[in-house]
Structure 1
Amino acid sequence: MSENRLALSLFWRTFILLGLLLTVGIVAWVQTFRALEFEPRAVQSAQQVASLVNLSRAALRYADSINRVTLIKALFDQESITLKPSEPADSYQPFEQNRFTRTIAEELRSRLGAETVVAGSVNGVPGLWVRFQIEQDLYWLQTDSRRFGTMTGRLWFVWVGIALIATLLGSIVIARLINKPLKELSFAASRIRGGEYDSRLDESMITREIREVNQGFNRMARELAKVEEDRAVMLAGISHDLRTPLARMRLETEMSVADEEARRNMVADIEQLDAIIDKFMDYARPGEVELVPVHVATVVDKAISQFRDTQRIRITSKLPIDTRVMADETELGRVLTNLFENARRYGRNTYTGVTNVEVSYARVGSWVVLSVRDHGPGVASEKLSELTTPFFRGDAARTAATGAGLGLAIVEKALQRMGGDFELANAAGGGLVAHIKLKRAP
């Protein structure tokens, strides 16, 4: 059977492309923001620490011993700042650990003096420590280094996560807005393909291009409906006007022709003309069908019962009675009858002159595939795709009988109306096999 090609719908392609575009934009924005935010934050942090050092230095220089203790306690309680004398035995770790902390340390030395010491911990106590001098005494100022750090990875993750979620939601909304009119157009076109010409699209869309497409589609649907109506009236008239003289000719032939063989041949010709008219009417039948669960074995048995002449055709069926498909019973019966008739005419065995037909089935996922095979001469592989073309005839081996050349075209059209598929192939052991693919009924 034909392969199903994996393809994304237009909605998902639009969504993925928009999502990728916006995600790349967010990543670029984050990197740009971090680059632009890095140096100003480092300079601002250094300025704050330098101001604290200068204020502390001025306050300690002009305060007596009692007020100095009070000042130190107030700074600790209100600003979480510790001031303590520097001892020669103090051990400290450098504050410069990365680019950000190095920038802060350099900015502090440029503001407080080159001799300023900036430490990340003193005597094992972490923090931002700055050693400064008041006259001949050295002091440590300690503050929490987290107050001057960059945004943490967790905070970045939260903000970027919120931005990505907003991006995905926005992409869904935009993709739906873009694809909604296209989806409506696709649905309306599928209804037109199925023979329903009453589909109408909104002609008051804000987007000018979509509005013009909808107007053109509606105009096309109206014209197709008119053409279909005219065709049905014309074919009905032709059928009526041809059958009346044919019936009269048959009556006159049976009454006026004396020769028995000539009369029989003339009646057969008239019956063939009448059958050809039926084929034309079947091919021009309107497209609306109602799909219901149908027992395949029952329909096949009814179609087989119409071919009782075992001297010309023998049909065997291997179908379970519980297999059901979604179809129109009349249409499916017409499909099978046409296939059996096609096999009777063109699939005769070269040696016996009898057509042997086998009907089998297979379940493929949610589909049921019926196979109708004869054991005739088959068809040249390059002509298989043309057998369903109206009025086309294959090679001489399969054109020994007369007909309208519409049988397989009617089969393909009927299966399309029922949402199925039709495929022809040469069987491995000889003969032609027709595959009918229909949805399995629940």
Structure 2
Amino acid sequence: MGISISRSGGTGADGTEDAGRTADPSRDDRPRRRRLLRTPRSLKKLAPRGLMGRSLLIIITPLVITQVVAAIIFYDRHWDTMLRRLTGGLAGEIALVSDMLRRMPDEEARAQLLTNVHHRLHLAITLQEGAILPNRAKAEPWGQMENALVNALDERVRRPFIIDTESVEDRVEIRVQLADGVLRVLAPRKRLFSSTTYIFVLWMVGTSMLLMGIATVFMRNQVRSVRRLAATANSFGKGREVPRLKVEGAREVRQASLAFNQMRERITRQIEQRTEMLAGVSHDLRTPLTRMKLQLAMLDDEDEDVAALREDIAEMERMLNDYLAFARGEGTEGIAPTDLGALLFEVAARFRRQNHPVDLHLERDLVLPLKRNAMERCLQNLIGNAMRYGSHVAVRAGLRDGTIVILIDDDGPGIPEDKREAVFKAFVRLEGSRNPKTGGTGLGLTIARDIVRSHGGDITLDRSPLGGLRVRVELPV
């Protein structure tokens, strides 16, 4: 069933006015306002998270808006104008043919006229003598082309007509009521369309794709510098040796790269200065301590003051040894791929040889870049600390979401929750919560956390399922 549109001659299109709804003044619009306020938050979740995606969105959004505005203007102005001209031309030709047929009573002249019209204007026109258009035809919603054609026929033909846009393929059928019959016109559908529409659409799509491609290539080059800066900063934060960052890209990226290089040099210089200072001070203090130990060795062993002094000197010597170990590990050792599981096994075996049982469980092979000697001292400090305060120690290591996690549990007295962060400060000893007879310099956890953080990880304390302290070491792979 084709679409049929009928119109009486000499009359224009009848417009109907839809009755609008009257707003209720008592209606509360606050929920709707709240929904509108929540819309930007929803859009924020849909926005790309990467710099390249957001930059392309910033570039493409105005482009899309511009294209949409151009399309609206085109269809509202150009397309409407062209459609009026095309339909007006077709309606004028039909009006001309109908007038000429009325003035030509001769059948042979009429046939010759219709033949010429078919060849010249590509309109298949036949005259059905004595026919009458139906009074009522099925009316369906009109499109833009049908509306324009109806208006043009109303204006130029001024006779009753029927339009059928779907019954004949690639043709528009128009029937016009004349005095002696019905004029049937089959017009090619392409006569009512302009090729500029397709050219305009292809131009919009082509230029948009070209501009998006250029923007993508340009932004990829800009983002590459930012990614390189992020990767270098991440490696440097993990304590790895990184070369000087190449300064390139946009002005802001160059400024960030230059600032990173300056920061890297300052941090490296400060680490070297602190390492040299610690090593020098520790080395210089060992000489007077050695002399004091020799002098105390010649004194009376039964004197309580002498015994207390010997304990103080021994504690000072342990502190100096910790300083020297820390200085050597931080200042000179490089990073290399290390089997952390094998390292844990060696440290546990060392304690077992000293009659300190360690329950060790490794989930899988754990290989990552480490300062091996520094990490060995870290693990030895942590496991030794657990041994010092507990009788049973359990060590677990495994991979969790791209991070190696080491858990060291003991059954000792533990540390109160409000004091767990304080024990990482240098020289802090919580004698109230741990066994005071075990000794310690107050540097073990400080040095351990410093070593782990130099690898980009961290150490936290918690309550152990064994009843004592749990030390959690996290190292990024």
- TM band (smaller chain): 0.7 to 0.9
Q: Residue 335 of structure 1: SS of its match in structure 2?
A: helix
Structure-2 separation of matches of 1:367 and 1:247 = 45
SS in 1 for 2:315: helix
CA contact (8 A) 2:159 2:177 kept: no
Q: Which residue of 1 aligns with 2:151?
A: 106
Please give the secondary structure, in 1, of the residue aligned with 2:164: strand
Q: Which residue of 2 aligns with 1:276?
A: 319
Give distance in 2, aligned partners of 1:235 and 1:81: 102
Taking the aligned partners of 1:222 and 1:293, their CA distance within structure 2 comes to 27
Does residue 250 (structure 1) correspond to residue 287 (structure 2)? The answer is no
TM-score by length of 2: 0.70
CA distance in 2, matches of 1:287, 1:10: 37
Higher relative contact order (CA 8 A, sep 6+): 2
Matching residue of 1:388: 424
Measure, in 1, the Cα distance between the counterparts of 2:369 and 2:250. 41
Alignment correspondent of 1:375: 411
Q: Match for residue 292 of structure 1?
A: 337
Q: Give 1:39 shift.
A: 2.3
Cα offset, 1:413, TM superposition: 2.6
SS class of match (1:398):
coil
Distance change >3 Å, CA 276–CA 206, structure 1 → 2: same
Aligned position for 2:386: 343
Deviation for aligned residue 1:375 = 1.2
- Among 332, 355, 358, the residue aligned to 1:316: 358
Q: Deviations over 1:100-158 (max 9, x none)?
A: 31232112321x1432524116997883234558886753332023542589x999998
Higher mean C-alpha displacement, 370-379 vs 158-167: 158-167
**Count of aligned residue pairs for this structure pair:** 420
Query: Does the 8 Å CA contact 2:341/2:366 hold for their aligned counterparts?
Result: yes
1:282, 1:410 within 8 Å by CA — same for their partners in 2?
no
Q: CA deviation at 1:407?
A: 1.6
CA-CA distance at 1:384 after TM superposition:
2.2
Q: Secondary structure, in 3 states, of the residue corresponding to 1:396?
A: coil
State the alpha-carbon separation in 2 of the partners of residues 199 and 433 from structure 1.
39
- In the alignment, the residues of structure 2 paired with residue 374 and residue 261 of structure 1 have an alpha-carbon distance, to the nearest angstrom, of 38
1:50 aligns with 2:91: yes
Residue 368 of structure 2 corresponds to: 326
* Counterpart pick for 2:275 among 227, 232, 240: 232
Aligned residues with identical type, % of pairs: 21
Paired amino acid for 1:361: A
Q: Distance in 2 between matches of 1:156 and 1:374?
A: 76
Whole-Å Cα distance in 1 between the matches of residues 218 and 166 of structure 2?
57
How far did residue 425 of structure 1 move? 0.7
| CA distance 1:219–1:333, change in 2 (3 Å) | closer
**Higher deviation after alignment, 142-151 or 336-345:** 142-151
1:200 aligned to which of 213, 236, 245: 245
Give 1:62 shift. 7.6
1:353-408 CA-to-partner distances (Å, cap 9, x unmatched) read xx322223344354443211111221121232343334444462137254443222
Q: Report the Cα offset of residue 294 of structure 1.
A: 0.8
Change in 2 beyond 3 A, CA 1:116/1:279: farther
Match of 2:35 in 1: none
2:130/2:182 contact within 8 Å kept: no
Give the Cα separation in 2 of the matches to 1:56 and 1:287: 102
TM-score (norm 1): 0.75
- Structure 2 vs 1, CA of residues 301 and 122 (structure 1 numbering), >3 Å: closer, same or farther? closer
Deviations for 1:245-303, whole angstroms, at most 9, x for unmatched residues? 2233333433x224267777655543432321232344441486424241515533434
- Unaligned runs of at least 5 residues, structure 2: 1-47
Aligned 8 A contact 2:286 2:317 in 1: yes
Equivalent residue, structure 1, for 2:226: 182
> Is the 8 Å Cα contact of residues 118 and 131 (structure 1) preserved in structure 2?
yes
Letter in 2 for 1:357: V
Q: Quick one: distance in 2 between partners of 1:157 and 1:16?
A: 22
Partners in 2 of 1:201 and 1:234 — Cα distance? 32
